[in-house]
Structure 1
Amino acid sequence: MATVEEIVGQSAPRRIGEAPWPERQDYHPSPVDWRSEVIYFLLPDRFSDGRETERPLLDRTDLWAARPQGWRWDRWARSGRERYQGGTLSGVASRLEYLDDLGVTALWIGPVWKQRPVAGVEGAPAEPDDYHGYAVQDFLEVDPRLGSRADLVDLVKQAHARGIRVILDVLLNHSGETWDYDLGEEGAPRYERRPPYRESPAYAFGAWRDGRGGRLPHGASPSLPDHGVWPEELQHHDAYTRAGGDGGSFGPGGDEDPNAPYRRADWFSRDIDMPSRLQTMIQIYKYWIALADLDGLRVDTLKHVPLEHARAFCGAIREYAEQIGKSNFLIVGEVGGGDTIQEKYLKLVGQNLSAVLETGETRATLRSVAEGQTRAEDLFGRFTLPLDITHRALGSRYVSMLDDHDDLAIFPQSRFGSAESSPSRTVVGAGLLLFLLGIPCLYYGMEQGLTGPEQEERKWLPGWGVRDLAGDIYLREAMFGPDHPRVLGGHAPDPDLPGFGPFGTSGRHVFDQDNDVYQRVRMLLRARKEHPVLSAGRQYLRRLGRQDGSFTAPEPGEVVGWSRILADDEALCVINPGHASRTARLHVDAGINAGVTAFTVVANTAELGGGTKHPVGSTVPVLAAPDGARYVEIHDLPPLSVLVAVNR
């Protein structure tokens, strides 16, 4: 046992089995209910370097002023795809006040673990940097381009002091490409990076990569921190499936098959053999929970882990968290492939998996409703599945988002609002995201309305909107606006490329707390915090009044209203995704509101735009219909606005 300060003041351990365990007096407690939290997801390399005061705020009315003479879009795009931009953990810490002011209560931070070397192998061209963090070379060390283990511990400590919890992104089933295969004859190795997938027998292990991306001698074991993979427990050849995989299709295999190709094949990575190394991975993340006082884990590619191993991992982590006093430790699984597979994992992995990350059809439908393209019934119908499928009946079972760093279920693959270059539409999406069932998660930059370069410039952008590995580049702008990216594999700025700044710029940041989108999203977050009904209540889509006195479901583009009900409290949430002001009559619960004469407006984003007939604090009368129903009437709701009113 040792103090946290003693541990982070030493070199990272080489074996997890011999790692000094931290000695703490107590740990930060879990929240009572994660539905009351608002998560903010960021990639540490793309958020802040802590030096924004050295750069001007971006003038969004003159983006070309932040594009140097001779600007080339392909070079800006190359910078974003291939390079670290310079964001750090201490930079994240420097922006905690900004996040606290916005109303964020939990941070999901992309992987911080030390990444593989990226130089070329045997004369091959240099590979892009793994700035995203999903190609780990050392599971017990923080990547030095992001900071140190001490920086991580300090970030969590500072966040906790502000009441902000920290969730770290972890990899369970794969490492980076830290070794190569041997496809040669005995005594005459022929190295291959990505041989085709085969079920059996396992390919021969070839050679470990060295600290520059080259190879160690055949048969040599890693000895230096930059060699191979760490901890040492992962250096056994049998720690990997050694099934090959060329980064393309994984082939056939059902969800129930633990040996399905997509669970054994390498995909720009090296797949870890779960039966032999599951306990190693469990120990690694228990260690990080103890060392950094984490509040939750987001488990990458959980679908690629057989169900029995996913259950065992989540159960072991939850037991350890409860042992140290974190009784509601959050474990969120990324389970791509749509709602059905997400439901299966929640049911079969059981309560050990707290929630799934919404990446499928529901996200796409939510975005489409906010864009005025889809009927609201199509979205709300997804929350009324049978009661035994609890993540739709209970909002605590899934984390909902408009965007993330992949947006794999979205076509074209771009941030919400990009289609019309309308940052203001982000507010409508935020209204749906924050006030529907689920644990809401904002993707970094959403609150600043990041939508990428202006539409007329997109024709110059390679891969813009393509739904493949080229499309995600434009989801990952650097909010802090670096002048230049880092050189490949290094820390120094590369003066030959522009930094991958916001809206297709460099040298300007967008941490603008006076920005219209930021102000409106903050208003919605504060209403959610002040009224528990908005996070814990049941939800009901409300019908829209027509001129003939009838009430019918809203059509695409019309005002959408829904209620959240908690005991006798009702909150009516209203969005206008259209392009014109609308007046809307919306039902409220006749029984709960039999003696209620008015609803009180607690949020109205239109108020921040000038004038509104329903300012915050005003009341909206409850009216009686001839058939005994009760309704309220919202007048002149401006386009792209959100209003929330409560009955108490």
Structure 2
Amino acid sequence: MNPTVHREHDWWKSAVVYQIYPRTFADSDGDGVGDIRGIIDRLDHLVELGVDVVWLSPVYRSPQRDNGYDISDYQDIDPMFGSLEDLDDLIEAAHARGIKLVMDLVVNHTSDEHPWFLESRDPASPRRDWYFWRDPRPGTVGGEEGAEPDDSPAAFAPKAWTFDPRSGQYYLGVFGPQQPDLNWENPEVRRAVYEMMRWWVDRGVDGFRMDVINLISKPEALTGQAPLDGPQVSFEAIGDGPRLDEFLAEMNREVGLSEQNLITVGEMPGAGIDLAVRVTDPARRELNMVFTFEHVDLDIAPGGSKWDLAPLPLPVLKANLAAWQEGLAEKGWNSLYWNNHDQPRAVSRFGDDRPEYRVASAKTLATTLHLHRGTPYIYQGEEFGMTNSPRAGVEDYLDIESLNYYRDAIGRGLDEATVLNSLLVKSRDHARTPVQWDASENAGFTTGTPWAPVNPGYETVNAVAAREDPDSIFHHYRRLIQLRHESAVVRDGEFRLLHPEHPHLWAFTRGHGDGQLLVLANWSAEELEIPEEGLPEHGDAELLLGTHGTTAGTLAPWESRVLRLAGSPA
């Protein structure tokens, strides 16, 4: 196909990306599962919203043990979503509407059903070292308890090493036994990955979101064959391996990512500012931006897992995002997000999803995020304020991570009520309920039986209702996107946080040339008096965006305002 698509240099700096999780976006054939044809049918919703890019979560052929992040064929589409021809039609339909399409690239690991791994299980296969194979621990017999090369746990399983009786060795699966890790030390692995990426670019893809891409370079302790000294597998231990920059630069060069102005964002669990600056520095030609996890990990108790809940004071959240703004101000670029397929709904987590505050808090979350410097990401349903879904017991959960946590926590003697509360707050299932398109049966997602339960709030919280209400969350997002497209201050302006210790006020300025914007947001359910000190003079400022018409000196509960300061050009 190799279509010619014009992409301005750094076009993604003024773009807004919309993430689609295909299984729950829209079902076109009534089988209860979202599909590619359903996405095509709903593209005009995204046109009205004004987004520039669709990031498509995995639609590749897969056993679906981890909702498509266990890929068995990188160059085919799973039949549950449609066909390769359907995807070609989606690319064409999106491009015809001025929307670019980004594919999810999952190349830290494959499915254990991928032909590469099936061949690798044969010790005599040329593909044996496409994956990580190790002998049992010295003095043990393979397959017995404690014979694993080390005691590292997997992300979704008790052990990171799985015994293969056929060869008498263990293979590494950082996420679990169904997701064996590729050995990027092998140049043949890298060539195969780059060839696959070029194949997708030739089909018209405009970039890649790279799943856990900072894990591809494993430390020397894992790549060698000496006995392992203690647990070696954790995001902290493998999250910035010795050849990461080399591999990312090679990928960029071999696929032509920079030359073709493709958008690239690397998901990097555990990554800090220093790593993000390094890999997104344009001079290094690695990635455009990364997804940090720092701000979505701030509500975890010290030393705990994501399920160990802790209060999150607003000054802590403000300080973290401000640090990333400052850290990447001179080099690199930020990605901006509250929601994605792995995170609970932001309006329930950071905002206030009670009926009287849901709309205002969703708007304020959007205003605060979109007025930072970086590329904003919207997750399906966020644009009209979808919330976490009510769930009574463990039988209401589907996600492998949630179910594994429940079994492990109950096995360790934790109180069930505490465990269920953690799931109610943090489970990935909340992000994966069907999109609420309208007030009809099953929220307009499907004419059949949905594979995942529909949030019961769909009769009032849905896309049709939001589009029909000129003061809705949807139209607030639309105006924010338009402002980013039109304003150099929003795209490129310097960020300065104001009142960093205020417990409820999130205030900052953006300045570019002679232009300056002031953002004021009340992150609480109480009326807030705006401080007289510590803010630029804004008595004569023009209100560009606001959620309520309150008096100038106060902010209503969850109210936000974007002000153009007097004398400041657009």
Is TM more than 0.5 here? yes
The structure 2 residue matched to 1:639, chosen from 550, 557, 560, is 557
The structural deviation recorded for 1:176 is 1.2
Call closer, same or farther: CA 1:444–1:206 in 2, change over 3 Å: same
Alignment of 1:411-430 (within 5 A): 416-417=350-351, 420=354, 422-424=357-359, 425-430=361-366
Task: Between 94-103 and 520-529, report the one with greater CA deviation.
Answer: 520-529
Alignment map for 1:487-526 (pairs within 5 Å): 499-503=452-456, 510-512=463-465, 513-514=467-468, 516-526=472-482
- Residue 173 to residue 444, structure 1, CA distance change in 2 (3 Å): same
**TM-aligned CA deviation for residue 174 of structure 1:** 1.1
Summarize the Cα distance change of 1:157–1:95 in structure 2 as closer, same or farther, 3 Å threshold. same
Instruction: Using the TM superposition, give the Cα deviation of residue 248 of structure 1 relative to its aligned residue in structure 2, in angstroms.
Output: 3.3
Shift of 1:113: 1.0
Residues 528 and 534, structure 1, Cα contact 8 Å, conserved in 2: yes
Q: Tell me, yes or no, if structure 1 residue 275 matches structure 2 residue 190.
A: no
Secondary structure of 1:136 counterpart: coil
- The TM-score, its normalising length taken from structure 2, stands at 0.70
Would you say the 8 A contact 1:41–1:443 is kept in 2?
yes
Label 1:320 to 1:179 Cα distance change in 2 as closer, same or farther (>3 A).
Answer: closer
State yes or no: 1:357 paired with 2:291.
Answer: yes
Q: Following the alignment from structure 1 to structure 2, what is the Cα–Cα distance between the partners of residues 204 and 405?
A: 31
Cα drift, residue 434 of structure 1 = 0.4
* Structure number, greater radius of gyration: 1
Alignment of 1:461-540 (within 5 A): 461-462=396-397, 466=422, 471-479=427-435, 499-503=452-456, 510-512=463-465, 513-514=467-468, 516-540=472-496
- Residue 322 of structure 2 is aligned to residue 383 of structure 1: yes
Q: Evaluate the alpha carbon distance shift between residue 539 and residue 554 of structure 1 in structure 2; reply closer, same or farther with a 3 A threshold.
A: same
**How far, CA to CA, are the matches of 1:378 and 1:436 in structure 2?**
13
Summarize the Cα distance change of 1:340–1:112 in structure 2 as closer, same or farther, 3 Å threshold: same
1:415/1:283 Cα in 2 relative to 1: closer, same or farther (>3 Å)? farther
For the pair 1:205 / 2:137, whether they are aligned, the reply is no
Amino acid of the structure 1 residue aligned with 2:337: M
Distance 1:87 1:249, change over 3 A: same
Name the residue aligned to 2:67: 132
Aligned mates of 2:257, 2:281 — CA distance in 1: 24
> Out of 357, 374, 398, which is 2:313 matched to?
374
**One-letter amino acid of the counterpart of residue 269, structure 1:** Q
Mapped contact 1:362–1:382 kept (Cα < 8 A)? no
In structure 2, the CA distance between the partners of 1:320 and 1:430, relative to structure 1 (3 Å rule), is same
- Pair 1:149–1:478, CA change in 2 (3 A): same
- Report the CA distance between 1:585 and its aligned residue: 4.4
- Summarize the alignment of residues 8-47 of structure 1 with structure 2, pairs less than 5 Å apart: 22=2, 24=3, 26-30=4-8, 32-47=10-25
Compared CA separation, residues 413 and 452, structure 1 to 2 (3 A) = closer
Tell me, in whole angstroms, the C-alpha distance in 2 between the residues paired with 1:380 and 1:338.
17
Identity among equivalent pairs (%):
19
For residues 178 and 441 of structure 1, do their structure 2 counterparts lie closer, same or farther at Cα, with a shift above 3 Å needed? same
* 1:571 alignment partner in structure 2: 517
Q: Structure 2 vs 1, CA of residues 373 and 181 (structure 1 numbering), >3 Å: closer, same or farther?
A: closer
Deviations along 1:541-588, one digit per CA (max 9) or x if unpaired, are: 224xxxxxxxxx55212x322100001100111111222333424668
Letter in 2 for 1:159: A
Q: 2:338 maps to what in 1? A: 402
Q: What is the aligned residue count? A: 474
State the 1:362 CA deviation: 6.1
Cα distance in 2 for partners of 1:204, 1:323 equals: 30
**Alpha-carbon shift at residue 454 of structure 1 (Å):** 4.9
User: Shift in Å at residue 343 of structure 1?
Assistant: 3.6
1:287 aligned to 2:199? yes
Measure, in 1, the Cα distance between the counterparts of 2:243 and 2:350: 35
Q: Secondary structure at the residue paired with 2:422?
A: coil
* Structure 2: gaps spanning 5 or more residues: 135-147, 162-170, 218-240, 301-309, 403-419
Letter in 2 for 1:501: V
> Is residue 280–residue 332 contact of structure 2 (8 Å, CA) maintained in 1?
no
Shift of 1:321: 5.7
Contact 1:423 1:450 in 2 (8 A): no
1:403 partner letter:
N
2:220 is matched with none
1:156-305 to 2 correspondence within 5 Å? 156-178=91-113, 205=121, 236-243=127-134, 247-248=156-157, 266-276=176-186, 277-291=189-203, 293-305=204-216
Q: How does 1:145-160 map to 2 (within 5 A)?
A: 145-160=80-95
Q: Secondary structure at 1:405's aligned position in 2?
A: coil
Cα 1:526–1:583 change in 2 (3 A) is farther
State the TM-score, normalized to the length of structure 1. Answer: 0.62
CA contact (8 A) 1:113 1:141 kept: yes
Whether 1:94 aligns to 2:30 is no
The reply on whether 1:439 has 2:375 as its aligned counterpart is: yes
User: Which segment is superposed worse, 576-585 or 415-424?
Assistant: 415-424
Q: Distance in 2 between matches of 1:585 and 1:640?
A: 16
Q: 1:416, 1:451 within 8 Å by CA — same for their partners in 2? A: no
What displacement does 1:140 show? 0.9
Aligned equivalents of 1:528, 1:133: Cα separation in 2? 33
Deviating more after overlay: 459-468 vs 90-99: 459-468
Letter in 2 for 1:379: K
* Alignment check: 8 A CA contact 2:347 2:362 kept: no
Q: Measured at CA, do residues 598 and 331 of structure 1 come closer, stay the same or move farther in structure 2, by a change above 3 Å?
A: same
Query: What letter corresponds to residue 406 of structure 1 in structure 2?
Result: D
Q: Distance in 2 between matches of 1:324 and 1:556?
A: 42
Shift of 1:114: 0.9
CA displacement 1:489-512 (0-9 Å, x = unmatched): xxx9986x7752234779x96454
Instruction: Tell whether the 8 Å contact from 1:580 to 1:638 is kept in structure 2 after alignment.
Output: yes
Runs of at least 5 residues in structure 1 that lack an aligned partner in the other structure: 5-21, 55-83, 117-128, 183-192, 194-202, 208-218, 220-233, 253-260, 486-491, 544-552, 614-633
Asked if the contact 1:110/1:132 (under 8 Å) is kept, the reply is no
Over the aligned positions, Cα root-mean-square deviation in angstroms equals: 4.5
Shift of 1:445: 1.0
Q: Hey, what's the Cα distance between the residues in 2 that align with 1:181 and 1:373?
A: 44
* Contact 1:533–1:569 (CA under 8 A) maintained in structure 2: yes
Question: Which AA in structure 2 matches 1:333?
Answer: G
Equivalent position SS for 2:285? helix
Q: Where does 1:445-456 land on structure 2 (aligned, <5 Å)? A: 445-454=381-390
Letter in 2 for 1:290: D
Distance apart, 1:156 and its partner CA: 2.1
Q: Which moved more, 1:267-276 or 1:578-587?
A: 578-587
Matched, 1:605 2:515: no
How far the C-alpha of 1:355 sits from its partner, in A, is 1.2
Q: Residues 96-115 of structure 1: matches in 2 within 5 Å?
A: 96-115=43-62
After superposition, residues 554-633 of structure 1 pair within 5 angstroms as 555-557=502-504, 559-585=505-531, 598-606=540-548, 611-612=549-550
**Residue type of the partner of 1:139?**
Y
The answer as to whether partners of 1:263 and 1:304 remain within 8 angstroms in 2 is: no
- C-alpha spacing 1:473/1:323, structure 2 compared with 1 (3 Å): closer
Secondary structure at the aligned position of 2:72 is classed as strand
CA distance in 2, matches of 1:111, 1:474: 18
1:83-111 deviation digits (Å, cap 9, x = unpaired): x8421222222222211221211111101
Per-residue Cα deviation, 1:451-506 (whole angstroms, up to 9, x for no partner): 13358x68984565536999211221111579789xxxxxx9986x7752234779
User: 8 Å contact 2:132–2:182 — kept in the other structure?
Assistant: yes
Q: What is the distance in 1 between the residues matched to 2:346 and 2:258?
A: 44
Distance 1:96 1:85 in 2: 19
Deviations 1:392-413 (A, max 9, x none): x258523121121113xx8999
What is the CA–CA distance in structure 2 between the aligned matches of 1:396 and 1:429, rounded to whole Å?
24
Residue type of the alignment partner of 1:205: R
Query: Aligned ranges for residues 314-325 of structure 1 at < 5 Å?
Result: 314-319=248-253, 322=256
Residue 435 of structure 1, CA deviation: 0.8
Contact 2:346 2:387 in 1 (8 A): no
Contact 1:401–1:433 (CA under 8 A) maintained in structure 2: yes
